[in-house]
Amino acid sequence: MPKATETLLEINLNALDNNYKYLTSKIKPGTKVLAVVKAFAYGSDSVVIAKELVELGVDYFAVAYANEGETLRNAKIETPILVLHTLPVNFEVIVNRCLEPSIYSRKTLEEFIAFSEEKKQINYPIHLKFNTGLNRLGFVENDIPFIAEMLSKTKSVKVKSAFSHLAASEDLKLKEFTLGQIEMFQKISEELIAKIGYKPFLHCANTSGIINYPEAHFDMVRTGIGLYGFGNDKEENKHLKPVGTLKTVISQIHKVENGESVGYNRGFIAEKATRSATLPIGHADGIPRSYGKGKGWVTINGKKAHILGNVCMDMIMVDVTDIDCEEGDEVIVFGPSTTAEELSAAINSISYELITAVSQRVKRVICRN
């Protein structure tokens, strides 16, 4: 790649290929793979990522909201797409674009069946989500008779899969809890199959579930963060490559004398002669204010430059007192060397939050490094 001359997010498709192959090497042949491409494919570009995954042979996509699935359909992606967070207001888009809703409550089931009947659908694919401990979305075991009763009275929908979501698959201190979730999911699925009289496919593992719980792979696994290069584990990260590299450039360098300040509200006051570099990236681009006042850093010519004072909307100023650099030099925010996991840890956050925050203002550049 040529050096960055503005703020951009490089999306490395070779890293995606590597991560897909590594993660799928962990599952039994025949297990389906669902790629989670919600939130712009974790802050990258959902269409670019999905097209590459189609080439790699992915079986399914998941998005959080219907409009994200619509974006994929507009890009001519024909792979089945699961909408994880179905809202009744989105039923129309879901059915018009052949998206497959997660149905997680009595209300969503009743309303989706009514909608499908009105639209004269036969066997419209739905996915039943069960709550096994995350307490976020999902039916509970007690809902099964109700579900079976509703399904027996209609031909408009058909259960394509039943699934659950693990609350702590990355945290081995909570292994007992996770094994309990897996067991509960197994029991619920058996009961569901017995009551509805056919076998939908089953899934409950996210990336860390793929890595830590082979017994939770069932018929399909759902991977998000792993595809983008993070395994929530030091050893696993060695096999994965970050897909996104966020780069920017030095716009201007200032000499700041002892006692002078930098940025809004005099967020940094120099206690010695300091050299600051102003970069065209701010909180509107995905660098939260909490990285200000030295918590966060960027890399310039291989050296760490900490953020001086407050993060502005469109800029940050960083300390380059001890760095040999000039205006126009490339700056790395995160990527394979300073990873998003490492940088986010500086503000007690996680890779997921930092990479999904890269705003739509930031130019995306595709590469194969």
Residues lying near ligand PLP in the complex (CB under 6 A): 36, 84, 165, 206-207, 222-226
Q: Minimal CA–CA distance to 208: which of 190, 195, 221?
A: 221
CA distances from 330 to 4, 48, 354 (A): 6, 25, 20
The reply to whether 136 sits in an annotated binding site is yes
Nearer to ligand PLP, 163 or 297 (CB): 163
DSSP 74-108: HTT--S-EEESS--GGGHHHHHHTT-EEEE-SHHH
User: Looking at 153, 187, 264, 363, which residue is catalytic?
Assistant: 264
Give residue number: closest CB to ligand PLP.
Answer: 224
Q: Does the annotation count 38 as an active-site position?
A: yes
Nearer to ligand PLP, 84 or 300 (CB): 84
Number of other residues whose CB lies within 10 A of the CB of residue 44? 24
Q: Rounded to whole angstroms, how far apart are CA atoms 274 and 64?
A: 46
Q: How far is the CB of 68 from ligand PLP (least distance, A)?
A: 12
| Strand partners for 319 | 276
- Sign of the torsion formed by the C-alpha atoms of 220, 369, 7 and 319: positive
Q: Minimal CA–CA distance to 332: which of 304, 354, 357?
A: 304
Nearer to ligand PLP, 10 or 236 (CB): 236
User: Looking at 32, 38, 241, 247, which residue is catalytic?
Assistant: 38
**Whether the Cβ atoms of residue 137 and residue 64 lie closer than 8 Å to each other:** no
| DSSP 8-state code for residue 137 | S
Apex 235 CA angle, 230 and 241, nearest 5: 35
Nearer to ligand PLP, 226 or 292 (CB): 226
Looking up tokens 């956050």 gives 349
Tokens of 207: 């990336």
Looking up tokens 């590594």 gives 22
The reply to whether 361 sits in an annotated binding site is no
| Strand partners for 125 | 158
Nearer to ligand PLP, 44 or 207 (CB): 207
Catalytic residues: 38, 264
Give the residue numbers of the binding site for substrate. 136, 313
